[in-house]
Amino acid sequence: MRGLAVEIISIWQKTNVPGGAPGPFLDALIEQTLSDHPRLSHPDRALLRELVTGVLRWRGRLDYAIGQVSHQPVNKLHPLVLNLLRLTTYQLLFLDRIPASAAVNESVKLAKIHRLPPALIGFVNAAARKLATALPDLPLPDPEIEPVTALAVATSHPEWLAARWLERLGPEAAWKRAQANNLHPPLSIRVNTALISPATLQVVLQTEGIATESGRFSPVGLTICSLKQSPFNLPSYQRGLWLFQDEAAQLATLLLQPQPGHGILEIGAGRGGKTTHLAQLLRGKGRILAVDHSLERMAALNRSRQRLGLTGVDLLLTDATLSLPIQPEHRFDRILIDAPCSGLGVLRRHPELRWRRQPGDLDRFARLQAALLRQAAPYMRPGGLLLYITCTTEPEENESVMAAFLRSHPDFALHPGPVSDAPEITPFIDADGYFRTLPERHDLDGFFAALLAKER
């Protein structure tokens, strides 16, 4: 298991260099490995996930500890040696069910299996032993003396993010934000209300051995209490009764208030988390044109709509920053821009993203988001609604993009007042009229949404 974990971590690191072309998602690498090893037991599968995501979540803290016992700087260590030591340190710090001696011996065994030269095997052995002895008393940087480094190391975030949040939010809120990013998110699912009600699905899941609770915020959400088997083999999943989705995403979609019979344009449909929700709300009446430039994601959306038994969705594979292949006079009742973004609001769900992102990414995404809005806006009918959603907490991709769009599109305005179709949204609308969910405040993914109305 540990060998597979190190392999996945090493592949992710090699293919996701900050500033380089985007590589495969960590989730996809884990899923691929699991499907290549179908005989792994459920506990082994769970352990593999925990080791891989745990090491990448805590990489900053682990590297700090390794740096304290290594005579070489961490960034100069052989990549495999570093990943073996990260795995060992993670086990020593966070997994008390694995004895320290076993964690140390395992790292040496893996170094030998990978045929590292004897000097490097010796280095792994010595460093792992030192870590096992030193870790319990290893002091962390003092927040009074080095506030940025202290936050970055203790909560395992890159220094640029720690510095940015300390400056913008102040120390208390910055620490809460960073700590919340290291908690495991609840297992939230969305009920396919085209086929079943939330209450009935709870009963069905109970018969399958899965206890659930009602969604805390979303009227179509349930929370799985604990999962001791692969959820994807459950009959209820295969019959399309539900899908995994954070409640923040469910709430954000409700803002658009689609009505049966509506024509909806969705830019950035991806794997269709929100497309399929919109299709549920249309109740088979109306059409959604789901646009994305990723063939792999459109294929996943296609599979998802089939599994969920939803109709009325047309797929358009195109780069939506360029002029859209839609009749110029065509108008939609609703437009959803589910914008590509830095994902800094979903670090608890995708902990590895924090090492992938760089400060310059925020402006790069803002330009992309502005281009998508610019191309879609002319297709809005007067009196219609446009919803802009991101899963980032950073103003460059949220408020600034909206302010610039509203300046250049005076026929659009922020939708005033409460959302009549979805009263559960109201507590998440801030004083500026934006929808916002925060991991540290709501135990939800960090989403931002702005609902814009086009004048009649």
Ligand X SMILES: C[S@@+](CC[C@H](N)C(=O)[O-])C[C@H]1O[C@@H](n2cnc3c(N)ncnc32)[C@H](O)[C@@H]1O
Which residue ranges are tagged as binding site for S-adenosyl-L-methionine? 292, 319, 338
* Residue matched to tokens 């996943």: 300
Q: Give the interface segment with ligand X, choosing from 83-91, 185-193, 271-279, 420-428 (CB under 6 A).
A: 271-279
List 77, 278, 336, 391, catalytic entry: 391
Contacts of 304 (CB under 8 A, 6+ apart): 243, 271, 272, 276
Q: Give the interface segment with ligand X, choosing from 25-33, 163-171, 267-275, 346-354 (CB under 6 A).
A: 267-275
Q: Which amino acid is at 220?
A: V
Query: Residue 36 burial (CB < 10 Å; 0-12/13-18/19+)?
Result: exposed
Token digits for 360? 């310059």
SS3 call for 120: helix
Number of residues that bind ligand X (CB under 6 A): 17
Among 268, 286, 351, 446, binds ligand X (CB under 6 A): 268
Per CB under 6 A, does 333 bind ligand X? no
CB of 402 to ligand X, least distance (A): 16
CB of 19 to ligand X, least distance (A): 18
The site string for ligand X over 288-327 (x = CB under 6 A, - otherwise) reads ---xxxx--x---------------------xxx------
Q: At what angle do helices 399-408 and 361-376 cross, to 10 degrees?
A: 40
CB of 165 to ligand X, least distance (A): 22
Residue closer to ligand X (CB basis): 167 or 363: 363
Token digits for 226? 């604990």
The terminus-to-terminus CA distance of the chain in angstroms comes to: 60
Residue closer to ligand X (CB basis): 164 or 274: 274
CB of 55 to ligand X, least distance (A): 25
Per CB under 6 A, does 445 bind ligand X? no
Report the distance separating Cα 211 and Cα 91, nearest Å: 30
The site string for ligand X over 49-68 (x = CB under 6 A, - otherwise) reads --------------------
Report the distance separating Cα 19 and Cα 22, nearest Å: 8
CB of 56 to ligand X, least distance (A): 20
Per CB under 6 A, does 335 bind ligand X? no
Residue 351 CB neighbour total at 10 angstroms:
23
Per CB under 6 A, does 258 bind ligand X? no
Per CB under 6 A, does 334 bind ligand X? no
Looking at the DSSP assignment, which residues form a beta bridge with residue 93? none
The answer to whether 225 is a known catalytic residue is no
CB of 416 to ligand X, least distance (A): 26
Residue closer to ligand X (CB basis): 155 or 218: 218
Per CB under 6 A, does 351 bind ligand X? no
* Exposure b/e, 275-310, CB count within 10 A at least 16 = b: bbbbbbbbeeebbbbbbbbeeebbeebeebbebbeb
Contact of 156 with 182, CB cutoff 8 Å: yes
Residue closer to ligand X (CB basis): 104 or 376: 376
CB of 346 to ligand X, least distance (A): 9
Distances (CA, A) of 21 to 15, 271, 390: 8, 20, 21
Closest residue by Cα to residue 338 from 243, 250, 426: 250
Per DSSP (E only), the strands in 262-375 are 263-267, 287-292, 313-317, 332-338
* Exposure b/e, 135-165, CB count within 10 A at least 16 = b: beeeeebeeeeebbbbbbbbbbbbeebbbbb
Residue closer to ligand X (CB basis): 319 or 421: 319
Q: Give the interface segment with ligand X, choosing from 232-240, 285-293, 377-385, 418-426 (CB under 6 A).
A: 285-293
Residue closer to ligand X (CB basis): 111 or 372: 372
Per DSSP (E only), the strands in 240-309 are 242-244, 263-267, 287-292
SS3 call for 369: helix
Q: Please enumerate, by residue number, every residue annotated as part of a binding site.
A: 292, 319, 338
Token digits for 373? 């809005």
Residue closer to ligand X (CB basis): 338 or 396: 338
Residue closer to ligand X (CB basis): 213 or 244: 244
DSSP string, 347-364: TTTSTTHHHH--TTHHHH
Active-site residue numbers? 391
Chain positions contacting ligand X, by CB under 6 A: 268-274, 291-294, 297, 319-321, 338, 340
